[in-house]
Structure 1
Amino acid sequence: MKYNYLILILFMFLAASLKAVGQQELSLSEAIQLGLERNYDINIEKKNVEIAENNNSWGQAGRYPTITLNLNQNNSLTDNVKTASPFQLQDQTISNSLNPSVNLDWTLFNGFKINMSKHRLEQLQAQSKGNAEIVIANAIQSIILGYYKAVLEKERLEEFQKQLHLSRDKYEYTKIKSDIGSAVSTDLLLEETNYLTDSTNFINQELNYRNAIRDLNVLLAEQDVDKTYVLTDELEVEIQTYEMADLMSKLNAQNVDLKKQYIAQRILDYDVAISRADKYPRLSFSAGYSHNRSRVDLSNATFPSSDGTSTPGPSDPLNAITDTYFGNFTLSFTLFNGGKINRAIENTLITEDIENIRTERLQNTLYRDLAKAHDEYEIRTRLYRISDRRMQATEKNLQISEEKFKNGTINSFDYRTVQNDNLTAAIQELQSLYNVIDSKVSLMRLTGGIIETYLSE
């Protein structure tokens, strides 16, 4: 049974080696580029930006006139079976008319509402771009952490593989000693147990790595979630010192969530101005031209006369042409409408106050998040330095203990303890390094530098 298990482990090593051949190499910058190109939310926001750009025009704001072309064609047949007057037209009358017309309506002045509407459309476009920036920033943050999470699991797998190699070497070494009679069976069973334990840990970690790759594929909007890569970037970070005052200044100036909120405030300012414009008079101009052609067929009609006889209508139809031109100015001013205008202005002012409260709440939340992220970064940086020193110490201790174990100075139990300490230190160092990257990316996201940093590469 144990040999079958060992053969399974060897087969997994071989399969992993063959699978790595021909895999696509993927760097962090390439992952970000792919993710931004494919990300569903980003593509949706791009379309929203296009809509906002199309709407941001003077025509949408109402500066230009509206010109309409109309064409009416009427047909009627009137059959005067019985009339109230003996002198009224009798029998059938057929009428046809064709009336094309062109009308122009133009608002010349409406209390500067057109200008305010245009400025509001500009801010709506900026707000749409702000929404896209938020989605992009969130996507970049998720891709960075997803990529490094996969790297973390890959390097963890390598550490478990090192542990497995050591256990295998110890097992083979003890087996040889047992064969020549210099090791007891309990030592061999102990090393076999350690080997099988490390094999189990390696298999479980391989599953964690595959799941991390699947999560990365989802972030990259890759249809094949089981697609594998050769991740070329290592788990590393440049440790920097951040001053809280500088971070706060960057947050106020560059944070994408705060910038979007400021735009929302400006939009409400224009809403107030548009509501107040209803207090001003409105001047409009309308002009038009119509051409009317009519045709009346009286060939089947009769005209009664005073002597009681009837005269048939003309055999040829009667035609008429009429051209009409007009140009009118309209000045209107709302004197009273039940206070609707004042209520509308008051409501927009209240809405503006609500948005100001939301801005203060967002600022307060962001200040708290920045303080927490800064402290977390400082603490995690210190913990990483500690774990790095611990890792170096355990590696050196492992090297020394290996020689002592081979010389018989220490037993298998002590050497296994040193081996486990080294593995634990390596895993903790990798996790602490990932935690530093996580905190640094959070700081960049809060201070608005994540887009500039990773899109300029």
Structure 2
Amino acid sequence: MKYLTISLFLLCAVFSSSAQTQLALADAIQIAMEKNYDLEIQRNDQLIAETRNAWGAVGRYPYVNLSAEARNNFNNNENDDYLQNQLVGAATVSWTLFDGFSVNLNKQRLNELETLSGQNTGLMVESTIQSVILAYYSVLLQKEKLEVFREVMQLSEDLYSKATFQKEIGSAVTYEVLQAQNAFLEDKSSFLLQEVAYKSALRDLQFLMATDSLTDYELTDSFEAIPVDYSLSELSEAMLANNKTLKNQYINQNLLKNAVALAKSDFYPSLNFAGGASATRTRIDYDRQGLDLSNMSNFYGNFTLSFNLFGGGEKKRALQIAEIEQQSGDVSLGQMKHELRNQLSNIFDFYQVRKELLGVARENMEAAKLNLQISREKFENGSINSFNFRDVQNLYLNVAVGELEAIYQFIDIHTNLLRVTGAIIQQYSE
């Protein structure tokens, strides 16, 4: 029975370890690119824009209709009653031959809308990559915090166990035991809450990847910040050339120019063609005269040239509005460039500061570790009391968490810098 229990325990341990799925950041991004909900919706929107972009949607081709009709009527009159049956087949063609270049202009508009939809997909890809990166490192952050809380809790547990033992042998009083117990329980509560934060962060990452939350992932990338030296002028050039939000604004400006051209096209005449052919077979059955059969064919082709001489100034007003909107678009483009330059400068400044704060946090952590080690030795030999040592414990905890937060904040600002300069896709698709 003993060997059976041990075997079952080992089997469960092997199963638990094998159930964990290793997940690198590159793998998480790849999964999100394939399964992310918002990205899938945006790709469908892009597919709709591609489907709409066709010459047939703007009137380049003629419309051809076929029809068949059966007519039946009975005529009751004084001379001779009769039953009439008619079979009519017809084909009609309608085609706008010229409409002020609007066909080509509308096709250009659809081209721009398709390009805009593709750019929106690119924006969604950038946003998804950024979200996955931050979610991935958030999981690592919470895991590292969990280890810090575990370390502090285990230290408090050791001190509590030691105080309990000393009380049993008479070298410690109840007050000291209670202080150690309170410290241990407080650290245990913090550890348990941090476990929840870690699991929540992991679920957030799984949601971005659209994967089952029951899957237990083991994140394999290390939680570290790698500073890179950048030049603000080079970043500014890259942003103006690659920022997808700015590219979208250029496309919107092209759409406004297209709207002006369409408004001007309304001043041109239009030429339309309408043609068709029909065949009619008529059968008349008279009560007295008997049966009469006849066939008739009809063909026609008509051209219509139309020109609006006056419409209350509606076309002129439409053109003026389109030109004003184009001017507003130029202003919006300049505003966006200015705003992006300010945003880049702010992000760059924060990047430089957080790069410096990394060094400060690391140096602070080294001092806190040494302080904790020395304070523990002093506490054990009675040089300081439990209150002093608890202060050192809390200081160590705050400094350790602060270092982890500094690493995450640097990763956050670095990712933001890559996003605004349009380099995030290239950076994480290599």
TM-score (norm: length of structure 1):
0.84
Structure with higher Rg: it is 1
8 A contact 2:135–2:205 mirrored in 1:
yes
Cα distance in structure 2, aligned partners of 1:122 and 1:16? 59
Residues 434-455 of structure 1: per-residue CA shift (max 9 Å, x gap): 111111111122111222322x
* SS state at 1:279 partner: coil
Alignment partner, residue 6 of structure 2: none
Alignment partner, residue 336 of structure 2: 362
Cα distance in structure 2, aligned partners of 1:151 and 1:19? 21
Cα distance in structure 2, aligned partners of 1:247 and 1:198? 45
* Residue of 27, 31, 53 corresponding to 1:30: 27
* Residue of 355, 375, 384 corresponding to 1:381: 355
Gaps of 5+ in 1: 1-14, 82-89, 301-311
Structure 1 position 431, deviation (Å): 0.6
* SS state at 2:311 partner: coil
* SS state at 1:247 partner: helix
Cα distance in structure 1, aligned partners of 2:143 and 2:278? 79
Residues 393-444 of structure 1: per-residue CA shift (max 9 Å, x gap): 2123333334444455544444333332222111000011111111111112
Alignment partner, residue 56 of structure 1: 53
Is 1:233 aligned with 2:209? no
Is 1:205 aligned with 2:194? yes
Residues 25-77 of structure 1: per-residue CA shift (max 9 Å, x gap): 22222222222323222222111111111121222222222222122221111
Distance change in 2, residues 1:430/1:17 (3 Å): farther
Structure 2 matches for 1:301-320, cutoff 5 A? 312-314=288-290, 317-320=291-294
**Which stretch of structure 1 is more off in the superposition, 401-410 or 210-219?**
401-410
Alignment partner, residue 167 of structure 1: 156
Counterpart of 2:148, as a letter, is E
Alignment partner, residue 391 of structure 2: 417
RMSD between superposed Cα atoms in Å: 2.5
Cα distance in structure 2, aligned partners of 1:150 and 1:338? 65
Cα distance in structure 1, aligned partners of 2:409 and 2:392? 25
Distance change in 2, residues 1:352/1:223 (3 Å): farther
* Residue of 33, 36, 39 corresponding to 1:39: 36
Cα distance in structure 1, aligned partners of 2:76 and 2:33? 73
Alignment partner, residue 4 of structure 2: none
Structure 1 position 122, deviation (Å): 0.5
8 A contact 1:214–1:227 mirrored in 2:
no
* SS state at 1:96 partner: strand
Counterpart of 1:136, as a letter, is V
* SS state at 2:229 partner: coil
Cα distance in structure 2, aligned partners of 1:435 and 1:16? 36
Alignment partner, residue 107 of structure 2: 118
Residues 167-211 of structure 1: per-residue CA shift (max 9 Å, x gap): 222223333444444444443333222222211111121122222
Is 1:347 aligned with 2:321? yes
* SS state at 2:245 partner: helix
Alignment partner, residue 262 of structure 1: 250
8 A contact 1:61–1:118 mirrored in 2:
yes
Gaps of 5+ in 2: 1-11
Is 1:451 aligned with 2:425? yes
Alignment partner, residue 5 of structure 2: none
Cα distance in structure 1, aligned partners of 2:281 and 2:321? 53
Cα distance in structure 2, aligned partners of 1:421 and 1:145? 27
Number of residues paired by the alignment?
419
Is 1:153 aligned with 2:153? no
